Amino acid sequence: MTASPANGSAPTDPIFHLDGDAYVATSLARGPWDPTTAHGGAPAALLAAAVDAAPALAPMQGVRLTYDLVRPVPLATPLHLDVEVVREGRRIQVLDTRLTTATDGTELVRCRALRIRTTDDLALPTDRPTAGEPLPALPEALPRLAATPGLDDEGFWTAVDVRLVSGRLGDPGVGRGWFQIIAPLTDATGEHAPTLTPLARVAACGDFGNGIGAPLPMGPFRYINPDLTVDLHRLPVDEWVSLEAHSVAEPHGVGLTTGTLGDRRGVLGTSLQSLFIDAG
């Protein structure tokens, strides 16, 4: 059994279990909208980890991840993870990663990733502009988010240590918080097995934007994101990723969540989620 958020210990089971050559989303991947499907942050982390595991001609950093959440990712269902290099080069690499059902190849999530060559040789001026300051409170100074009504069972919120600076999950308004994945991403092994990389941590954090910076009260309304875009100029310095998010909702049923991603050094990128708005 994995640990619950109440006891403060980290789960030992993985978010995705490897069954042969297929991945299976466990209960730790579960999302808030449907008890049989995954939170978007879980497959986002898996596909980002697959990007980092892909070989390249030079040292590379993932700088843009563009996800289409085509269909809900079912729990307890064998899934195939595919990686294709679309553009190969020593300066730029573009990859497509896809998550499909193992039985019939139905596409669930796809991600186009842009990677840029990194180097330690550039002598940049020290007075160059900076991206922004860290959140006003660091995670060590904040309590871990307690169980939320309606989300008391095991889910992705169990696999992630959430510490809010301001706002509450599902309450409308600007939200600020820190996120650390504390469960293993997979139990896969091998040279090119996806592991919980800094890029994967940021990708998962980005999908919490419409939760902590909700456009409307959760319950009376649903605001589901069919996509996620993450843009980064650097990776986090440790396992904690911060997010400041706010959302807008329009009467015709469309919304947008805008997020600022960071770490204890300051801002490191942005996230965007388009929102499908409906009555709950």
Q: pLDDT, tens digit, for every residue of 7-46? A: 457 889 999 999 999 999 999 999 987 899 999 999 999 9
- Asked if the structure places residue 124 within a domain, the reply is no
pLDDT of residue 77: 97
> Looking at this protein, which amino acid is placed at residue 142?
L
- Asked if the structure places residue 25 within a domain, the reply is yes
- Asked if the structure places residue 245 within a domain, the reply is yes
Number of domains in the chain: 1
Beta strand segments in 10-135, E = 16-19, 22-25, 60-69, 78-87, 92-101, 107-117
Judge whether residue 121 has pLDDT over 90: no
What CATH number does residue 242 fall under? 2.40.160.210
Instruction: Mean pLDDT check: name the lowest of 69-83, 156-170, 230-244.
Output: 156-170
**Rounded to whole angstroms, how far apart are CA atoms 168 and 208?**
12
pLDDT of residue 1: 28
pLDDT of residue 147: 61
- Asked if the structure places residue 27 within a domain, the reply is yes
- Asked if the structure places residue 42 within a domain, the reply is yes
Write the CB contacts of 257 (distance below 8 Å, at least 6 apart in sequence): 209, 210, 213, 215, 225, 245, 246, 247, 271, 272, 273, 275
- Asked if the structure places residue 128 within a domain, the reply is no
pLDDT of residue 3: 34
Domain hosting 64: range is 5-118+134-279
What mean pLDDT value characterizes the chain? 92
What proportion of the chain, given as a percentage, has pLDDT over 90? 81
Backbone phi and psi for residue 13, each to the nearest 5 degrees, phi listed first:
-75, 155
Judge whether residue 153 has pLDDT over 80: no
> Looking at this protein, which amino acid is placed at residue 31?
G
Judge whether residue 179 has pLDDT over 60: yes
Per-residue model confidence as pLDDT tens digits over 186-222 = 999 887 789 999 999 999 999 999 999 999 998 899 9
Q: Which two tokens stand for residue 140?
A: 């060590």
- Asked if the structure places residue 35 within a domain, the reply is yes
- Asked if the structure places residue 77 within a domain, the reply is yes
